Amino acid sequence: MAETGGELSWLEQWYRAQCDGDWEHEWGVRIATLDNPGWTVAIGLEETTLSGQPYERTDIRRSDSDWVMATVFGRCLPGVLRSAQPRGSAAPVPRLGYHGER
């Protein structure tokens, strides 16, 4: 388990709370690397209390090589975490992109 505190620990605890024997087989969390370098996270919100809730875009740009962006998309864009949800699904999936040193 991740250290207590921090974003990864929060995400792990949130994921565990969603697991009900069904949800985790259809939805979930996907983390992948980007080519610039950086990483992206897609979180399936369908069938959770966060589904359909408003989420204001977060865009933090410390420099061209150090940025964080978070938003909710109706579905994942082709080529970016394509497996995060079934084809044709319109369920909201928030994506968080991070680039740079932390």
pLDDT given for residue 21 in this prediction: 92
**Residue with the larger pLDDT of the pair 8 and 86:** 8
Average pLDDT score over residue span 12-32: 89
pLDDT tens-place string over residues 50-100: 887 787 888 888 888 788 888 877 643 333 333 334 445 455 555 554 444
pLDDT given for residue 77 in this prediction: 32
pLDDT at residue 19 tops 80: yes
pLDDT given for residue 93 in this prediction: 52
**Residue with the larger pLDDT of the pair 4 and 21:** 21
Cβ(92)–Cβ(36) under 8 Å?
Answer: no
